[in-house]
């Protein structure tokens, strides 16, 4: 085998040592966080589209409502997948990486003792403890953000209702569709008047 060839190691095997050190698998943590986001995304999309359908059902068939849900879920989940790939990569390379020379306490007897190496190991353990602390802080922050998302969702529902009421007050029995058509026509006429 050529010494310049690289051997590809499955990520699970690569993570075995860090899993032993931390007593949990970083990739499992990432999967749990991802599932929380997916569950909330699914619920959010269903809730928003159901509210749109209940208010504008006369303009939106059940099939179109289902298509809208499906399209939103696909688009948003695609974006989320890209972001979580970056998040996983960050976790594995920056937060949960152990130097190749790090040794777990239970493996120490298998190494030769060196005061310099011992100090180096202590320094690295401290660095990793700090990284674990940062991850736990990030997890707490993610929980806070999830709570904020729920609050924002409620605020969005209230704002939607207020906008609908304002449209009814300003335009009487005019439907939201009529208002949208009016705005589109206004934009088109402005574009025509702005063009040379």
Give the tens place of pLDDT for each residue, 23-58.
777 888 888 888 998 889 889 999 988 888 888 878
Whole-structure pTM value? 0.42
Decide: residue 18, CB within 10 A, 0-12 exposed, 13-18 middle, 19+ buried. Answer: buried
Parse the chain into domains and list their residue ranges.
Answer: 11-194
Integer Cα distance of 99 and 94 in angstroms: 11
- Report pLDDT for 14: 64
Give the pLDDT band of residue 180 (cuts 50, 70, 90).
confident
Is residue 17 exposed (0-12), middle (13-18) or buried (19+ Cβ within 10 Å)?
Answer: middle
In the three-class reduction of DSSP (H, G, I as helix; E, B as strand; rest coil), residue 132 is classed as helix
CA 102 to CA 93: how far, in whole Å? 15
Rounded Cα distance, 98 and 168, in Å: 61
Over residues 63-74, the mean pLDDT reads: 89
Question: What CA–CA distance (Å, rounded) separates 42 from 77?
Answer: 9
What is the band of 75 on the pLDDT scale with cuts at 50, 70, 90? very high
Q: What secondary structure does DSSP assign to 103-114, as a single string?
A: --GGGGGGS---
Return the exposure string of 88-113: e unless at least 16 CB atoms fall within 10 Å of the residue's CB, then b: beebbeebbbbeeebbeeeeeeeeee
* Residues 6+ away with beta carbon under 8 Å from 12: 27
Model confidence pLDDT, tens digit, residues 122-177: 999 999 999 999 999 999 998 998 898 899 889 888 887 887 787 778 777 766 67
């Amino acid at each position: 085998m050529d010494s310049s060839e690289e051997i590809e190691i499955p990520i699970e095997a690569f993570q075995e040592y860090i899993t032993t050190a931390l007593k949990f698998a970083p990739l499992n943590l990432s999967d749990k966080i991802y599932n929380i986001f997916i569950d909330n995304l699914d619920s959010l999309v269903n809730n928003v589209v159901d509210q749109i359908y209940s208010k504008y059902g006369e303009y939106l068939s059940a099939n179109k409502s289902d298509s809208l849900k499906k399209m939103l879920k696909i688009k948003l989940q695609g974006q989320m997948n890209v972001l979580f790939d970056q998040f996983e990569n960050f976790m594995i390379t920056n937060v949960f990486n152990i130097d190749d020379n790090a040794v777990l306490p239970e493996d120490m007897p298998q190494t030769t003792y060196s005061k310099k190496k011992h100090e180096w190991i202590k320094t690295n353990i401290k660095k990793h403890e700090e990284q674990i602390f940062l991850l736990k802080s990030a997890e707490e922050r993610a929980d806070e953000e999830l709570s904020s998302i729920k609050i924002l969702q409620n605020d969005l529902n209230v704002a939607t209702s207020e906008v609908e009421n304002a449209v009814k007050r300003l335009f009487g029995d005019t439907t939201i569709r009529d208002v949208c058509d009016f705005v589109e026509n206004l934009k088109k006429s402005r574009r025509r008047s702005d063009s040379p």
